Amino acid sequence: MSRRIVFLDRQSLIADLRAPAFAHDWIDHDQTRPEDVVARLQDTDIAIVNKVKLSADTLAQAPRVKMIAVAATGTDIVDLAYCRAHGIVVSNIRGYAVHTVPEHAFMLMLALRRNLIGWREDVRAGLWEKADQFCLFTRPMNDLYGSTLGLVGYGTLGHGMQKLAEAFGMIVLVAEHKDATAVRTGYTAFDSVLAEADVISLHTPLTAETRHLISTREFGLMKRTAILINTARGNLVDEAALADALKSGRIAGAGFDVLSIEPPREGNPLLDLDLPNFILTPHVAWSSREAMQTLADQLVDNIEAFVAGRPHNVVS
């Protein structure tokens, strides 16, 4: 039996996709608008998505879909409850970004701790040329060595962050869940991590519980010299509260690779910030060529495993 496979946003993945080892009909769409999803999933057995949302209403109109292969780790775009209730297997990608996301997070971290953007601005403004000595002292600079990294989320990416942090000579604290009644061995209470860390890096999924995990209260717990890094999901942080914290000097800086709505076609408080202590990149931490190829290979592995009757990387 031939399986019909539809990739709804093929343009989101720059990699070679090998043909699955079974009879199939594969259709690629570079992008798919919300109003076109249902039509494109008609008579489809396996749907591949990266960021196209698949709601319960949408899936109810595509009854032939039996597998959703998410071309990413995060699955907040899929109504998992509907899939469980209707026997739709959802598989995601795991471990592919263990190097690329931590490297990106550390790029942001180093740039902010060492004030890279500020120094560049000063050189462009001609301040070095006017200096009385061989160097400028117009900006503060801090080492990573000896500083404390607070990790919120301790899965594959959190472990990857810890490995790099220890190579830099950092102290690592792993945060317990925000509202936990007990603290597990090897973890530190959430509020204590916020209060003690020089750099806080987010690596947790977006759920109802983690939405706005960091807001005004949490910024109030942080050191004024602290830096917040977010390469996970935009809605983990209250963006208006972050903008206020940066403009008021409540924290020293932030490096973000994500926003609450992507692309931000109707604006965002963070897009309006023109500060040397805020760096925003366009959700690319995951997308090194090496990582995307690993993702593509695992994506096809997941599809082949499902067709063989041994689903792999299933999201419960």
Q: Is the pLDDT of residue 316 over 90?
A: no
- Please name which of 140, 189, 147 lies closest in space to residue 165, comparing C-alpha atoms: 147
* pLDDT recorded at residue 280: 98
Hey, which residues are catalytic here?
A: 233, 262, 283
Query: What pTM was computed for the model?
Result: 0.91
Q: Tell me what the mean pLDDT of segment 147-151 comes to.
A: 98
Q: Tell me what the mean pLDDT of segment 4-14 comes to.
A: 98
Identify the band that residue 184 occupies on the pLDDT scale cut at 50, 70 and 90: very high
Q: Tell me what the mean pLDDT of segment 100-110 comes to.
A: 98
d(CA 178, CA 163): 23
Q: Is the pLDDT of residue 177 over 90?
A: yes
Q: Which domains does the chain have, with CATH numbers?
A: 3-96+290-307 (3.40.50.720), 100-280 (3.40.50.720)
pLDDT by residue (tens digit) across 259-304?
Answer: 999 999 999 999 999 999 999 999 999 999 999 999 999 999 999 9
Phi, psi of 38 (to 5 degrees): -60, -45
d(CA 192, CA 135): 38
Q: Is the pLDDT of residue 1 over 90?
A: no
Q: Which residue has the tokens 């983690």?
A: 210
End-to-end CA distance of the chain: 27
Provide the mean pLDDT of the chain: 97
Identify the band that residue 23 occupies on the pLDDT scale cut at 50, 70 and 90: very high
* Cβ-based neighbours of 56, under 8 Å, separated by 6 or more: 79, 81, 82
d(CA 222, CA 150): 11
Q: Tell me what the mean pLDDT of segment 116-139 comes to.
A: 95
Torsion of CA 63, 71, 235, 262, to 10 degrees: -90
